[in-house]
Amino acid sequence: MVSSPLATPVPADDPLRFERLSVFVRGLEVEAGIGVYDHEQGRLQRLVIDVTLELEPGPIERLGDTINYETVADAARAIAAEGHVGLVETFAERLARACLEDGRVQRATVRIEKPGALAAVAAPGCEIVLGR
């Protein structure tokens, strides 16, 4: 059996250092009540969400040392479940703030597309960045 060199522990005298650690979720689809126009009230619309979280860099040995992707997806679904949100920007800010509740997250970038909201456009949307 061949063992992977990545499976060995990092030596104490390792000259390399962590400079950046990002965790991301791309293309998360959520059905949400969203929009300010009358025709958007009382119906769900598809949002496509990308989240990038920058964490305090450091060794990662177990799931507890990082952010679980499912936590990010659950936060987005919870915001949608809370009820109608007027603006995509508001949804993005709420999700970024939810991610920053974990003290290991130093910066949260949330990009939301709202496909079908504008004719002849692949997807309008917004991107918000919140940091400590």
> Do the beta carbons of residue 115 and residue 103 sit within 8 Å?
no
Rounded to whole angstroms, what are the CA distances from 100 to 67, 73, 117? Answer: 11, 14, 29
Alpha helices in 1-132 (DSSP H): 69-81, 88-100
Catalytic residue among 47, 95, 114, 117: 114
Please say whether the beta carbons of 55 and 21 come within 8 A. Answer: yes
114 is catalytic: yes
For the annotated catalytic residues, the residue numbers are 114
